[in-house]
Structure 1
């Protein structure tokens, strides 16, 4: 049985383009992988807490030495990390907000980038521990920030997520972007066609 993890970051639950696209991908993936499971993680709004001093302290305390309060502080991060390790494939629905990821997506990243869990320091430098998985970044933006466009240098959504995924060991990454929705709503349908071709 295969497992797909979908992380949705758009705070717009009703008419989000990225949520529409990740839902379409999930349906097609499940049809191609009958009997498999999908983990859905909504990181919008306040669903994922920002790192606190207590959480960071718990990260760097050996598990068998953590106090009850530290165990509680790290519980969400452990849950999110376990979801990643359980997944064969990860889909990140990430709309661009002010040239970068949403606050929810950033909080998710901060919770899953864990030394000793998702990466380790070695003599050759940091080594990600999630190799062998496939990831798809599903992005959207009002303007067109794709490679080769005049505003490409302002796109810190796609580049950031590719960097994070690579850091934790996921290097098989595809990007499907609905860029320029404010000018042409048809780009969402075009993105969906490209996205479903990846299933």
Structure 2
């Protein structure tokens, strides 16, 4: 018996849109993620977008109290706050796993990612759901999706050997995504935005061209 043809519902692309910059309209990464999402909307017949603005609703950082619940899953005798944090954690993991495409706005702050984004990563890195440990080492369980990172940096790190070792932003994101099994990672980068208006405009133009090329390739 032939397999049924895909329906319109089957063809809907699920896109998770993550922003982490607290700078609002002044944020370069927010500008880039919005452009990426709109490009996907224009290129795909059906795109379902779920938005998480981590600067507006930042998950609490994992304290000792929350560690027992959201990381170690000790679920006996939970108080109201622990139950709410567990529900939030499960919702964040569900969103991440359900997405076909994840667009992450990730500015560089002090050589790494914003604390808001780290708090989200700490929630979605869940043993048994997004990775598991085996006798031969960890195995990622969240593969099969595409992640696009909108990266912004005040300096130029990618082509400057003297600064490359200071990049704990893009390198960290690639590492943690790889740990979760995500290997299809594209970085749309705006570098040198702190080096004056001309350099900022040039970086944004270059990033926009990459976004256009990305959607054509898709």
TM-score scaled by structure 1?
Answer: 0.93
DSSP-derived class of the 2:165 partner: helix
Q: Given the superposition, is the C-alpha separation of residues 55 and 193 from structure 1 closer, same or farther in structure 2, using an over 3 Å criterion?
A: same
Structure of greater relative contact order (alpha carbons < 8 Å, 6+ residues apart): 1
Larger Rg belongs to:
2
Residue of structure 1 equivalent to 2:5: none
Pairwise CA RMSD of aligned residues? Answer: 1.7
Structure 2: state its 5+ residue gaps.
1-11
Contact 1:8 1:19 (8 Å CA) reproduced: yes
Equivalenced residues, count: 198
Aligned counterparts of 1:34 and 1:66: Cα–Cα separation in 2: 47
Q: Does 1:23 align with 2:34?
A: yes
Contact 1:3 1:89 (8 Å CA) reproduced: yes
Give the 4+ runs in structure 1 shifted more than 3 A. Answer: 65-70
Q: Given the superposition, is the C-alpha separation of residues 192 and 149 from structure 1 closer, same or farther in structure 2, using an over 3 Å criterion?
A: farther
Contact 1:91 1:138 (8 Å CA) reproduced: yes
Residue of structure 2 equivalent to 1:159: 171
DSSP-derived class of the 2:35 partner: helix
Contact 2:68 2:74 (8 Å CA) reproduced: no
Contact 2:112 2:167 (8 Å CA) reproduced: yes
Q: Given the superposition, is the C-alpha separation of residues 71 and 134 from structure 1 closer, same or farther in structure 2, using an over 3 Å criterion?
A: same
Structure 1: state its 5+ residue gaps.
none
Aligned counterparts of 2:181 and 2:100: Cα–Cα separation in 1: 13
Q: Does 1:192 align with 2:204?
A: no
Aligned counterparts of 1:196 and 1:74: Cα–Cα separation in 2: 39
Residue of structure 1 equivalent to 2:119: 107
